[in-house]
Amino acid sequence: MSILITQGDLEQIWCFSLQEADIALKWKYNSRDKYFRTMAGVCYGMLGNNLPPPNEAVDLFQRNNIRRIRLYAPNDAVIQALKGTNIELMLDVPNNELQRIASDNLTAAYDWVYYYIVNNRADVKFKYIVVGNEVSMNDWRYVLPAMKNIYSAVQSAGLQDQIKVSTAIYSANLSDSYPPSRSVFRGDLLQYLQPIVGFLVEKRAPLFCNLYPYISYLENPRDIRLDYALFTAPSVLVWDGQYGYQNLFDALLDCVYAALEKVGGSSVEVVVSESGWPNAGDFASTTENAQTYLNKLIQHVKGGTPRRPGRPIETYIFAMFDENAKTGPERERHFGLFTPYKQPKYNINFY
């Protein structure tokens, strides 16, 4: 990137020492580039009985230049700790609330938005509301009605341009995804996802998607190379017509874009609402692999994918802490960037 230094810039810094002038010009560059340097946020899961209190967690965000977080359910203590920090917040409506929020009676949706969002909007930087996360087949029927009700409440508060309402899917909601251009939404979900995409197009909202190259590699190490999953492949490994893929993250994300295009969603951006790599629990989960993936991810999302080149990819790393109360395989408890005692597990740079 070339930086134009104008006569006005020179006039403003003429009286500085050479060292001060250098600092001033670097600030000019960095302020222009800030958006591209901070595309990665963090998912703040709270399924642990030994996690630090929210005020200490928020302090840790700030000390590590984490400017975006995802919170999986409203939490008064976290919202209070975020006040005045300017940290952007993605807030979930949990799956167990979907049926209630989707009711024809709008009271539940309005109460949720006004209690958590409107009452705190002056001091907390709400950015997204995630209505359902990787929902089960039984819950899909509630997602769009709940999204519409939440949006109605957001609009009534005059916040519809500031806060976008969407839902979070994952790769299992797609089928026929190799190569990426063949990808489509699963047939049994199309009756739900097509109108959801229409809503997102109308409201100019993104689709959230949880993407894990780690899981894809874990499930198919015979056909997927580790360096392809870790962003370390030296050259393109997969060609899909005109698009060449050097890493699995881009291929998975372009699968979502290809599926969106097939249901009228070409204008919908995808926000990667989760991505991560654990450091224990199975053959692929090592500290070396996790550190490589996470650092490469933070740098990679400043750019785009072969299908959407030159467009930064807003991405949330899963997760802030190891969570000892998570259920499932052992790996589920080892995704954290930090231990519950606030010690970093890796050398990670969010700049």
Would you call 272 helix, strand, or coil by DSSP? strand
Mean pLDDT for the chain overall: 91
* Angle, CA 49 vertex, CA 65 and CA 81 arms, to 5°: 40
Closest by alpha carbon to 278, among 337, 335, 339? Answer: 335
Under the banding of pLDDT at 50, 70 and 90, the label for residue 6 is: very low
Q: Would you call the peptide bond into 234 cis, given omega within 30 degrees of 0 as the criterion?
A: no
Q: What is the pLDDT of residues 175-188, one digit of tens each?
A: 999 999 999 999 99
Under the banding of pLDDT at 50, 70 and 90, the label for residue 38 is: low
Measure the N-to-C terminal CA separation of the chain; round to a whole number of Å: 17
Under the banding of pLDDT at 50, 70 and 90, the label for residue 26 is: very low
Quickly tell me which residue has 């204008």 as its tokens: 267
Mean pLDDT of all residues in 72-88:
98
Q: pTM of whole model > 0.75?
A: yes
The pLDDT of residue 27 is 31
Domain boundary assignment for the chain:
40-333
The pLDDT of residue 32 is 39
C-alpha dist (Å) from residue 113 to 1, 159, 273: 42, 10, 21
Under the banding of pLDDT at 50, 70 and 90, the label for residue 331 is: very high
Under the banding of pLDDT at 50, 70 and 90, the label for residue 349 is: confident
- Is 134 catalytic? The answer is yes
- Is 97 catalytic? The answer is no
φ, ψ for residue 55 (rounded to 5)?
-65, -35
Q: Are 275 and 317 a contacting pair, CB within 8 Å?
A: yes
The pLDDT of residue 16 is 33
Distance CA 345, CA 288 (A): 11
Neighbours of 86 (CB within 10 A): 10
Q: Which of 134, 269, 314, 323 is catalytic?
A: 134
C-alpha dist (Å) from residue 199 to 96, 100, 163, 240: 22, 20, 15, 30
Can you list the positions of beta strands (E) in the chain? Answer: 40-44, 68-71, 88-93, 125-133, 164-170, 174-175, 184-185, 207-210, 238-240, 243-245, 270-275, 315-318
C-alpha dist (Å) from residue 76 to 2, 48, 83, 91, 306: 45, 17, 11, 12, 41
The pLDDT of residue 51 is 98
Burial of 347 (0-12, 13-18, 19+ CB in 10 A): exposed
Mean pLDDT of all residues in 188-214:
98
Q: What is the pLDDT of residues 90-113, one digit of tens each?
A: 999 999 999 999 999 999 999 999
Share of the chain above pLDDT 70, in %: 89
Under the banding of pLDDT at 50, 70 and 90, the label for residue 166 is: very high
Under the banding of pLDDT at 50, 70 and 90, the label for residue 350 is: confident
Mean pLDDT of all residues in 299-316:
97
Mean pLDDT of all residues in 220-234:
98
Q: Which of 88, 97, 269, 274 is catalytic?
A: 274
φ, ψ for residue 85 (rounded to 5)?
-90, -20
The pLDDT of residue 37 is 53
Which superfamily does CATH assign the domain made up of 40-333 to?
Glycosidases (3.20.20.80)
Q: What is the pLDDT of residues 251-294, one digit of tens each?
A: 999 999 999 999 999 999 999 999 999 999 999 999 999 999 99
Amino acid at 127: K
